[in-house]
Amino acid sequence: MTTVTFNDYLEKQLKDDEFKQGFLKEKRKLDSAVALMLAREEAGYSQRELAELAHVPQSTIARIEKGANTSVDTLGKIAFALGKELKISFS
């Protein structure tokens, strides 16, 4: 029986266009979730504290940090509350 590393398996799966599209969609959501969580923690805020500063429900912060989609408007409020600039790019 051959051993296959995760990276080798993923590389093979990414050759399938449908898989790749789904993978990249989820990766974008998780990248933004991690970015928000790290910025919040770096600022020293709990989810509740950040939510109050951004004038959004705490559940919104939690949902975003779990990888749920949100609006640019909401991300802008959160960025402002963190004293950060929201940058969106197509690369």
pLDDT tens column, 38-64: 999 999 999 999 999 999 999 999 999
Residue 25 lies in a domain: yes
Residue 42 lies in a domain: yes
Which of 52-79 are b and which e, b meaning 16 or more Cβ less than 10 Å from the residue's Cβ?
ebbebeeebbeebbeeeebeeebbebbb
Q: Which two tokens stand for residue 5?
A: 């590393």
Residue 88 lies in a domain: no
Domain count, the chain: 1
pLDDT tens column, 68-90: 988 999 999 999 999 999 998 88
Residue 89 lies in a domain: no
Q: What is the CATH number of the domain that holds 30?
A: 1.10.260.40
Please state the φ and ψ torsions of residue 57, each to the nearest 5 degrees. Answer: -65, 150
Residue 90 lies in a domain: no
Domain residues for 46?
Answer: 7-82
